[in-house]
Chains A and B, each alone.
Chain A
Amino acid sequence: MNPFLAVVVGVLYAVGTYLVLQRLLTRVIIGLGLIAHGANLLLLLSGGDPGEPPLADAAGVVSGASDPLPQAMVLTAIVITFAVTAFLLALAYRDWHDTRSDEVEDDLEDRRIAALAAREGRR
């Protein structure tokens, strides 16, 4: 395990978290993208040491290759992250289109429900 790349994963997660904990939707989306990169790298690292591409020779033998399973997982993760990011961008666009702001407001409905629940709970 190379501790340097582990630190890189940590940096991706930390910066991503910092961005996600704010209210501007575009920044949140960028933060999520960074966290996704971090997760992909973490998955790849968990497969062990680097190696040759996992391609079998004509006899069906694979030698000296890196672990193929994390690669398969990361491949689909990359595509899904792309699709979800595009969806979030559409959401940010729609928010901007309707409200001229891409800030995530407090959910007033949530607060109303909480107040209602507090009343019910006291009864």
Chain B
Amino acid sequence: MPGPPPLPFAALPVFWLIGSQLVVAALVLAAGRRRPRSAVIVSAGALAAAFGWLAAQVGTITSGGVVVEHLTWVPHLGVSLDLRLDGLALIMGMVVTGAGALITLYSGAYFKWGPPTARFVGYLTAFAASMLGIVVSDNLYGLFVFWELTTITSYLLIGFEDEKGSARAAALQALLVTGVGGLAMLGGLVLLAQQAGTSSLAALLADPPGGTVTTVALLLVLAGAFTKSAQVPFHFWLPGAMAAPTPASAYLHSATMVKAGVFLLARISPAFHTIPFWTPLVVGIGLTTMILGAWRALRQHDLKLLLAYGTVSQLGLLTALFGMGTPAAVYAGVAMLLAHALFKAPLFLVVGAIDKQTHCRDIRLLDGLARRMPGALAVALAAGLSMAGVLPLFGFVAKEAAFEALLARSPWLLALVAASSALTVAYTARALWGAFGRKPVSAQADLVGAKAGGTPLFLLLPAALPAALGLAFGLLPGLAAPLLEATVGTAGAGALKLWPGLKPALGVSAATLLAGLLLFARRDAVERLQRAGHRRLLAKWAPTGEGIYRRALAGLNRSADRVTAVVQSGSLPVYLGIILLTVILLPGSALVLGTALPRVDFGGHWAQFLTGGVVAAAALAILRVRRRMAAVVLLGAVGYGMAGLFIVYGAPDLALTQLLIETLGIVIFALVLFRLPPYFREARWRLGRALRLGVSAAVGLFVTGAALAVGTASRPPPVSAYFNENALSAGGGRNVVNVILTDFRALDTLGEITVVATAAIGIAGLVTGAVRSRRKRQEP
């Protein structure tokens, strides 16, 4: 595949956008332990710089440009680092870097500038790099690599408080669920690339393939997107992920990583939404998730869990919008995505601040914080009202756009989304009241919060900025509109208006607001109904995703135990015997059944019979000798015979190497055997002598057969023709073997000398260890 001309690294800004974050993450993790303040400043600075660079591209992108970069990686497999910054990537990238910079600052204060700060900030920055990679990847395989990197960094962050068993379990659960989805997605991406004949995402979307294979591929890709974005039935990992420190929850599990799935949908849906199964499946799953998440948010008492189920619900709405795939729906979806980042992250950050000040997140116990933490209240109100979709905040504007898009499709869809909006209003009210309201004095619990201090600046400011931006975008939707239009590509796909006029959508908004407040006012009755419904129906009948996950994990462990119990005998000959028998039975039977009788030809130089005969005879003689040194000398004879065969075969390099190695080898054998007793001691064998003879003979027969079959099989023209032709012209050498080693296959050779170096290190370790243990024995 002829690529565009390569560029020097310095001229690759998008590459460095990711690379610089990785460098900073490595730096912070390596050297930041003692200097938490510098770690926070460097990380936040790098993310802010990335945000600044992206902001500088707004002009280019909104006027229809894209920034494209190519870096070849494994060109023969179509794997390359193709980076493409377009409207959608730009808006996601700004969310990732902007939220990243603010939340990094917040984490400094959250961890009280202590030793965990640097580790946390390092992971966070590494995550930001991976997430940026997802956003700008134009290559399917590159996309997958970054996708999995976010899974890994998410694992590290959820399990950050690794002394807690519950945090480790939650991290593992998130890793396994999203990891399995990621594997399915990899399968889907490979199939897609095969079908389309390209691994470039842009090329794939410009000319989407069809057919059954594509359908299967898309289903697999959807599995990846659904697990990542916590869609039913995989949603359970996201509330579990709340075991992460709150800044990570705000960043990964609300603002960015969980958006990766819907982001992918937004990318591919416009090209594939016309396939019959697509819309019913994706929109159906999305709407189910939306309702279920909102419903369950309504009965949470932990503020973080409440917000997490809210996120599940919002992700469901985004999935549905992007699943429709029409420009108007995608437009509204991107607006919702931006609005969600602007309101959900501040809410999480406020919850983190409350948690820090009161050590409590239970809405039944928090009391009177409105007076104690007025700054936090202001931020929470601005963000919460946006979440509830109240005029004049950006959440309202985005929701109106979504309503318009849904209404154009079907009133039923609108009705469902409106119902979920009412639930959203209700759980928002529940969260705000729960965090800041006054609670009736209850007998069984002590209220907390009366003694909380104010909110430290660094815990407040990072939350206040996006909340303020939500207000600004709400009042002046024209600020955000050009960017949103750039994501869809066509102007006029949708419109953002602060005052939409007296249209049906506005009426729906007003109705959902009223219904939501009503639900909140009767919250005790709603809670009773929920609990009863859960006990009677769901707990008994519905197999939850979480239950299936638990059972699958337990079953896997049990079957692994059983296999181990049977196979693991502890005896090396038995292990080797099992492996060899497998070789004889599986490829061996294929050899017997599947190949024709070989062509027999006793031609060739007479010397090969002589040297070959020496080799075989010397090898057989080893079986008879009892002296160690004699066995070594015979092994040397085999080696010299091999050198003779190499000469006959026209391989002087091999002959030279073999002669030298054999000589050095005998010296080294002698070195060691000098210390050991001269005779082999007959020992008790676990495997009987007859059995060993049988296995060995079978292996010998199998290899002889394989050698003959190789000689008979029809083969493609050898690659060596290429090596022969290009040795002098491309490799600059006349010894083709050496040119292969040092040029054509130099990477292999590099790997091989690394093995050699490793062996040398191992030898030194074994010997110095022996010296040390001897000294210890002599000293005491």
Contacts and interface: CB of A to CB of B under 8 A. Distances in A.
Contact, chains A and B (beta carbon distance below 8 A): yes
17 contacts: A3-B708, A9-B704, A18-B623, A23-B686, A26-B680, A33-B665, A34-B635, A34-B638, A41-B642, A65-B736, A68-B724, A78-B658, A83-B756, A87-B766, A89-B672, A103-B681, A113-B568
Contacts of B631: 26-27, 30
B207 interface: no
Contacts of A80: 752, 755-756
Contacts of A49: 604
A89 B568 CA distance: 26
Contacts of A59: 728
B720 A87 contact: no
A71 B320 CA distance: 59
A55 B709 CA distance: 29
A1 to B, nearest CB: 3
A98 B774 CA distance: 9
Interface stretch (B54-62, B198-206, B233-241, B612-620): B612-620
Interface string B650-692: 1111100110010011001101110110001101011100001
Nearest to A33: B635
Interface string B738-780: 0011000100110010011001101100110110011000000
Interface string B511-547: 0000000000000000000000000000000000000
Which applies to chain B's interface (DSSP): helix, strand, loop or mixed?
Answer: helix
B164 interface: no
B587 interface: no
Q: Give the 5 A-B CB pairs with smallest separation, nearest first.
A: A1-B711, A14-B700, A60-B728, A10-B704, A118-B565
Contacts of B620: 11, 15
Given A6-B708, A120-B558, A93 B675 contact: yes
Contacts of B707: 1, 5-6, 9-10, 42, 45-46
B664 A82 contact: yes
Interface in B171-223: none
B616 A92 contact: no
B731 to A, nearest CB: 10
B703 A3 contact: no
B581 to A, nearest CB: 11
A91 B766 contact: yes
Contacts of B613: 8
B564 A89 contact: no
Contact of B680 (A27, A52, A74): A27
Contacts of B685: 22-23
B619 A4 contact: no
B601 interface: yes
Contacts of A16: 619
A22 B573 contact: yes
B639 interface: yes
Interface in B691-746: 692-693, 695-697, 699-701, 703-704, 706-708, 710-712, 718-720, 723-725, 727-729, 734-737, 740-741, 745
Contacts of A71: 651, 653-654, 737
A102 B687 CA distance: 18
Given A5-B612, A21-B695, A24-B680, A110 B601 contact: no
A91 B190 CA distance: 44
B569 A51 contact: no
Nearest to B697: A14
B564 A117 contact: yes
Interface in A92-113: 92-94, 96-98, 102-104, 106-111, 113
A17 B696 contact: yes
Interface residues of A, number: 97
A17 B700 contact: yes
Contacts of A93: 672, 675-676, 766-767, 770
Nearest to A2: B604
Contact of B704 (A6, A48, A104): A6
A61 to B, nearest CB: 8
A30 B673 CA distance: 12
A11 B616 contact: yes
Interface in A38-62: 38, 40-42, 44-60, 62
A4 B612 contact: yes
Contacts of A20: 576
Given A12-B615, A72-B740, A111-B568, 19 more contacts: A1-B712, A5-B645, A6-B707, A14-B700, A14-B703, A19-B622, A19-B623, A22-B685, A23-B686, A26-B680, A44-B649, A45-B710, A50-B604, A53-B653, A78-B657, A96-B675, A97-B774, A103-B681, A117-B562
B561 interface: yes
A123 to B, nearest CB: 8
Nearest to A94: B766
Nearest to B570: A110
B646 interface: yes
A96 B676 contact: yes
A110 B737 CA distance: 44
A52 B599 CA distance: 23
A26 B604 CA distance: 36
Contacts of B653: 53, 71, 75
Contact of B564 (A22, A23, A113): A113
Contact of A11 (B562, B599, B619): B619
A94 B767 contact: yes
Contacts of A75: 653-654, 657, 737, 741
Contacts of A94: 766-767, 769-770
B572 A1 contact: no
A107 B500 CA distance: 77
A102 B676 contact: yes
B598 interface: yes
B456 interface: no
B442 interface: no
Given A22-B573, A87-B759, A55 B734 contact: yes
Nearest to A110: B570
Contact of B756 (A10, A12, A79): A79
